[in-house]
Amino acid sequence: MYTHGTLVTAMHGHLAFWGAYGMIVLAFISYSMPNLTGRKFYDSTKGLLAFWLSNIGMVGMTVAFGVAGVAQVYLERKVGIEFGLVQQEIQVHFVILAFCATLFTTGIGFYIYEFIKYGKPNDEALETISN
pLDDT, one tens digit per residue, over 18-27 is 988 998 988 8
Q: Flag whether 37 is in a domain.
A: no
- The count of structural domains within the chain is 1
Domain membership of residue 98 as a residue range: 1-11+46-131
- Contact criterion met (CB below 8 Å) for 89 and 71: yes
Phi/psi at 55 (5° precision): -75, -45
Q: Flag whether 72 is in a domain.
A: yes
Q: Flag whether 34 is in a domain.
A: no
Amino acid identity at 123: D
Q: Flag whether 40 is in a domain.
A: no
Q: Which pLDDT tens digits describe the chain residue by residue (131 residues)?
A: 455 668 888 899 999 999 889 989 888 887 887 777 776 666 568 888 999 999 999 999 999 999 999 999 899 888 989 888 998 999 999 999 999 999 999 999 998 888 777 666 555 555 655 65
Q: Flag whether 25 is in a domain.
A: no
Q: Flag whether 36 is in a domain.
A: no
